[in-house]
Amino acid sequence: MVAPTPNSPSPRTVVTLILPGPDCRRSPTRYRYRVRFRNPFMHQPGCVMTWDVLGGRDSYQIAAERTTDERLEWHCTCPDAVYRSARQPHHRCKHVQGLLAWLHQRETKPLAATSSHNG
């Protein structure tokens, strides 16, 4: 049994990120990410974590999947991810890119307060 990493987002974590919006001008738009599921055995193959993404044209879901060779693969239900990943297997949509940037920032600055604010 492997414990979750201490710095992994908790199941109630809500993150707000500013990303290019869904309109033609890609206006900066506020997107909310909410952890829906976090596997307590994050280092084993399978679904590690899922997030709900709200604020765009529609709501989407992101899933992080650990492969048997211990890589993390990211999936998003948005049209960009669905259609382009068929042609470009390593393509990452803006939702996944934004989340990865936030997670990376969180790892390098664990005390940065960027989540769970009360309005």
Residues interacting with Zn ion, by CB under 5 A?
76, 78, 81, 93, 95
Alpha-carbon gap, residue 27 to 19, rounded angstroms: 8
Alpha-carbon gap, residue 118 to 88, rounded angstroms: 39
Q: Which is nearer to Zn ion, 39 or 97 (CB)?
A: 97
Q: How far is the CB of 59 from Zn ion (least distance, A)?
A: 11
Q: How far is the CB of 6 from Zn ion (least distance, A)?
A: 28
Q: State whether residue 5 is helix, strand or coil.
A: coil
Q: Which is nearer to Zn ion, 64 or 76 (CB)?
A: 76
Q: State whether residue 27 is helix, strand or coil.
A: coil
Q: How far is the CB of 60 from Zn ion (least distance, A)?
A: 5
